Amino acid sequence: MIPPATPDLVIAVPRGALMRESLDRLDAIGIDTSEVRSNHRKLLFADIGIVTMRPSDVPTYVEAGAADVGITGKDVITEQPDRDVYELMDLGYGACTMVLATVDGPDPSVEALRRLGVMRVATKYYKTAAAYFEATGRQAEIVEVKGSVELAPLTGLVEAIVDLTATGTTLRENNLVIREEIFVSTARLIANPVSHKLKAAAIDTMLEKLRAD
């Protein structure tokens, strides 16, 4: 059993782009994360009740109760709509935008819809893309890719992509342009539903400190 990072709480912290600012926020509310910062390979910090993992795994651990609360991106939460977790707070950092992009010039996705009634879209965010096109009333054949999604429209595999971008630099370098902005993703604090009830006081205290920071 992992000891708590704060009274009664175990926290799942995302590795990668969100990690540094997540640790900064925890330090600011009185949790000493120096051990986490000094050991980049270690995943479990039992003495301080912090467990680190990929952002996409945070909802899994929180839903299962292996962590009471966790930090992950809105993009992850949106892509995993069936996870039984509570989204408690927008932490306001790690901003990226989920976008629909195509090659520069006349929009090939519009032309595909006009001619065929369906557009082909490559993405790592299958559920997000499917929900978006359903909500906007457009037919889309979604191709799930694991690697560089920017390659798909350049090779003619698809007419468009749905992807997360921070600056748009990679898109521009590959002659792609943003056609639509779907939503802005920032870091969010999520909680296990049972923990949210049984450890309400500890979670409320954490929220108050985060809001005051």
**Token pair for residue 80?**
């995993």
The CATH number for 35's domain is 3.40.190.10
Question: Is 1 within a domain?
Answer: no
In this predicted structure, what is the pLDDT of residue 175? 96
In this predicted structure, what is the pLDDT of residue 1? 46
Are the CB atoms for 23 and 37 separated by under 8 Å? yes
Per-residue pLDDT tens over the stretch 190-207: 999 999 999 999 999 999
Per-residue pLDDT tens over the stretch 96-144: 999 999 999 999 999 999 999 999 999 999 999 999 999 999 999 999 9
Q: What share of the chain is helix, strand, coil (3-state, %, to 5)?
A: 35, 30, 35
pTM for the full model? 0.91
In this predicted structure, what is the pLDDT of residue 206? 94
Q: How far apart are CA 23 and CA 46, in angstroms?
A: 16
Q: Name the 3-class secondary structure at 84.
A: coil
Domain count, the chain: 2
Is 86 in the same domain as 100? Answer: no
Number of H helices, E strands in the chain: 10, 11
Task: Decide if pLDDT at 7 tops 60.
Answer: no
Range of the domain at 46: 11-94+186-212
Is 89 in the same domain as 193? Answer: yes
Per-residue pLDDT tens over the stretch 10-39: 999 999 999 999 999 999 999 999 999 998
Question: Is 160 within a domain?
Answer: yes
For 2, phi then psi, to 5°, come to -80, 125
Question: Is 201 within a domain?
Answer: yes
Mean pLDDT of 66-86: 97
Strands 96-103 and 160-165: antiparallel
Is 176 in the same domain as 206? Answer: no
Share of the chain above pLDDT 90, in %: 89
